[in-house]
A = this chain, B = another copy of it.
Amino acid sequence: MIELENVSYGYGGGELLTEMSLKLAPGSFHFLTGPSGAGKTTFLKLLYAELLPSAGRVTVFDQSVRGLGRDEIAELRRRIGVVHQDCQFLDHLSVAENVALPLLVADRPIDTRELVELLGWVGLKGQMDALPPELSGGERQRAALARAVIMGPDVILADEPTGNVDWEMSQRLLHLLVELNRMGKTVVIATHDMNLIRSAKAQVAARVLRIKGRRLHLAGADL
């Protein structure tokens, strides 16, 4: 699905990520942890080609991202659902429209019933017609997650999707992601929340990646 070979990246002042190699198999479930500022968000950005590696090779759906044109990258993003850490929306459109935005820009039909069901899953049925600036922090994260999965993407990358929601809601969101994973989607979640990782491990064969000292490690069974 997604493959990294000796990938390095730096924003300019020295390398941040060094010689990372990884193969995300279809249907796998990964967590990504590491201290704040370690490069988790940066790592995810490499996976959906918002950043290009300074060295090494990132292959997504069997294509090297370096060789892709801008339109091909856009197409690629329709197959990867991303929950960004700073959930940004179009502030002039309603929550429902924002969640349906990937369908709109891809010119696909919007199934209203499905949209409402999804909004119900993330607990935003009541906020459907609200504007994004009227949402609470956790509601924004949930809307972002809904937007990430509405296209039925092959890969879901979620950056700290439960940082602002309570425990019950985070379990609910995790359950949604686990369900999608069971349907064959590849899932990567960057998080600090060890409890979330533990409770996921009870439901699915999740592996934990850790960024430490600029390198990617596979965390042991101690988690």
Give the interface of A toward B (CB within 8 A): 11, 33-37, 40-41, 85-86, 123, 134, 136-139, 142, 159-160, 163-170, 192, 194-195
Contacts and interface: CB of A to CB of B under 8 A. Distances in A.
A142 B86 CA distance: 15
Contacts of A169: 35-36
A36 B163 contact: no
How many copies altogether?
2
A139 B40 CA distance: 13
A36 B139 contact: yes
Nearest to A34: B166
B138 A36 contact: yes
A166 B35 contact: yes
A11 B167 CA distance: 25
A142 B192 CA distance: 15
A137 B167 contact: no
A137 B35 contact: no
7 contacts: A35-B168, A36-B136, A37-B138, A85-B136, A137-B159, A160-B164, A170-B192
